[in-house]
Amino acid sequence: MIIFPAIDLKDGKCVRLYKGDFNKKTIFNSSPYNQAVEFEKQGFTNLHLVDLDGALKGKSKNKKIIIKIIKKTSLKIQLGGGIRNLNQISFWIKNGIDKVVLGTLAIENYKILETACRLFPGKIAVAIDVRANYLAVKGWVKQTKIKYLNFIKKMDNCGVSRIIFTDIDRDGTKKGINPLRFKKIFRKTKVPIVISGGVANITDIQKLNSLDKAEGVIIGRALYDKDIAIKDLKKKNLI
């Protein structure tokens, strides 16, 4: 199982939100690049990178920082946040992003999602961001009336390389994960799934690791707060 440490970019800084609320923001590092380097030194090989400014505005304010992280680390990066057209997708893939994560675009324009998957095979991931069983878009600010399980069913047919499922109600809370929910999701699709939201400790990661269909897990606040120790991840051969 792949462990993805998370870096969320807001105004050029590395932050974490509480349940996706931009008014409940904690700055963990004023240099996202230094944070990425630290993760690499700790032994991580993958990184989950989200441009929160891009997600809100549909336009990135953090492009230079992201490119610096791409070019000056060897981390395999999945990037999301405000990527809303084919030109932006192409730009990031040409600059070395491993997976481009589409959220709002995937949900609001399924045809472009299909086109992106065809043009960039193996490079497109879809963010399934869920609040109270419904999809949220545009930085989680806009709530839709689309039930997430109905949308997940469509992912098998368009060539998506992975689904990134985030439980917004648990994100940033360290309240733990809900394995029963994920078992239900796994029955709906054959696409590999990366889990995010609420991971609190090493036990949560082990629970997910026991689910054969979980491709990976994203860890944010629990890493920054040191509730999950790097030595324990290494001891369990998770990194």
DSSP 65-76: HHHHHHHH---E
Neighbours of 121 (CB within 10 A): 10
> What digits encode the pLDDT tens for the residues 59-111?
778 999 999 999 999 999 999 998 999 999 999 999 999 999 999 999 999 99
**What pLDDT, on a 0 to 100 scale, did the predictor assign at position 20?**
77
**What pLDDT, on a 0 to 100 scale, did the predictor assign at position 16?**
86
**What pLDDT, on a 0 to 100 scale, did the predictor assign at position 212?**
72
Contact 137/107 with Cβ under 8 angstroms? Answer: yes
Catalytically annotated residues: 8, 129
Name the band, by pLDDT with cuts 50, 70 and 90, for residue 163: very high
* Percentage of the chain modeled with pLDDT above 70: 100
**What pLDDT, on a 0 to 100 scale, did the predictor assign at position 9?**
96
**What pLDDT, on a 0 to 100 scale, did the predictor assign at position 213?**
78
Encoding tokens for residue 170?
Answer: 């648990």
For the chain, the domain total comes to 1
| pLDDT above 90 (res 178) | no
**What angle, 0 to 180 degrees and rounded to 10, lies between the N-to-C axes of helices 202-209 and 179-186?**
30
Contact 155/126 with Cβ under 8 angstroms? Answer: yes
- CA angle (182, 225, 205) in 5-degree steps: 25
Name the band, by pLDDT with cuts 50, 70 and 90, for residue 139: confident
Domain coverage including residue 83: 2-235
CATH of the domain at 91: 3.20.20.70
| pLDDT above 80 (res 211) | no
Which is higher by pLDDT, 236 or 126?
126
